[in-house]
Amino acid sequence: MKGQRVFRRLTFDEVRAWLARRPDALLLDARDAASYTRDGWPGAVRLSPGNQDALLLRTDRQRPVLIYCYKGNVSQVWAQMFADFGFTGVCDLVGGHRAWVAGVDGSNPSGKALAPELAAWLTLEGFIGTQARGAHGNTPLMTAAWRGASAVVEQLLASGVALDAVNDDGNNALWFACVNGNPSLVKRLAAAGVPIDHANATGATCLMLAATSGKADGRGAHAARAGRRSGCALPGRLHCHRYGGQPRLPATAASNLRTLTMAHLTFYEKPGCSGNARQKALLRAAGHTLDVRNLLSWPWTTEALLAFIAPRPVSEWFNRAAQRIKSGEVVPETLDADTALALLLAEPLLIRRPLMQCDERRMVGFDAAQVHAWVGLGAHAPAPDTPLEGCAATAVHSADQHAIRCAPST
């Protein structure tokens, strides 16, 4: 990116040494006021839109700056902003305050060096070690099981991770394997010792989920039972009814189970865009819920838009199907960040779409592989190279009508 300045990302293992060598560092807490008051770092200053200008303009740009947030997402946006203002020693904390609290609890229990592939996967998923906790209290083993990443699961099992760990909803890794629906993975985790009969916060067990979700035509439940070699016990507060010999949960309980696997995304679109329509259909088919908003009329501010686009190169901020870009009137590769941002705020049609947000994480554009790795597209996930951005789809309404296409300039 032309003129871009960089910042450094520090892991938990690196941050103590970094702080020890820089006692004058400015520590900035990018969380909400209540969190900052409750367990902010000693000497840290709360960072917010209300004081950002004063900090950016009045702080010596040679002073080291370390920014942390909840989980290491928003801190990257802030760190890039400070770097763009000319600060030369800006860092943020990978995994955020959650990683700091986890500390050595996120280490590798086997004591052996992690395989490079596993270490890279952990970093990509935002975990600090094999025992760390991510969103909703999920462990790396739970996340790998949900993704269907069998090779990662094997490496995590070999590293000695806890098999009885549960997340904030009371679900264990076997539950997430059942959600994924891979019978071999379900059987492997059951055989490894992940508890089959554990009941989550709603009283549901893995066998209940596998038997009622339709995953792999019931093979998930069979695989789980095969791992234990016993009958289908259904303990807990929920009871199965049988229809045609197949166990099913009451409708309300089944709905609760499905809800536990969904993500809720804010989805900024151009109304009428066929590309955005395809993307929404994929997300909804995977069980996710959407809060759909009009990207063109939304009251964007500099900070709000940067929260989506700042981590990416300037050239990836733009909608390549926009007429001004296709005609060569606007060439994103020649623009610096300030010029590009001003142009996008003035002409939202130029913003690459969709913009999506789930919890603290944001995404610009719709790369199928990245979206699948983020929230999951389930069995509906298209091939990684499937083009899903732009308005290429046409719809013929009658013999005397032209094919209607989302205009390149809109």
Which positions are annotated as active-site residues? 273
Q: How far apart are CA 99 and CA 231, in angstroms?
A: 40
> Which residue, among 301, 271, 267, has the nearest Cα to 375 in the 3D structure?
267
Q: What are phi and psi of 257, to 5 degrees?
A: -65, -45
CA 71 to chain centre: 11
DSSP line for 287-344 = T-EEEEEETTTS---HHHHHHHHTTS-GGGSB-TTSHHHHTTSS-GGG--HHHHHHHH
- Tokens matching residue 25: 């560092």
Q: 134: Cβ–Cβ under 8 A, 6 or more apart, which residues?
A: 71, 98, 125, 126, 127, 140, 143
Q: 325: Cβ–Cβ under 8 A, 6 or more apart, which residues?
A: 318, 319, 331, 332, 350
Q: How far apart are CA 282 and CA 51, in angstroms?
A: 40
Contact present, 309 and 268 (Cβ < 8 Å): no
> Which residue, among 330, 349, 195, 343, has the nearest Cα to 270 in the 3D structure?
349
Distances (CA, A) of 192 to 173, 259, 316: 11, 27, 44
**Which H or E element spans position 126?**
none
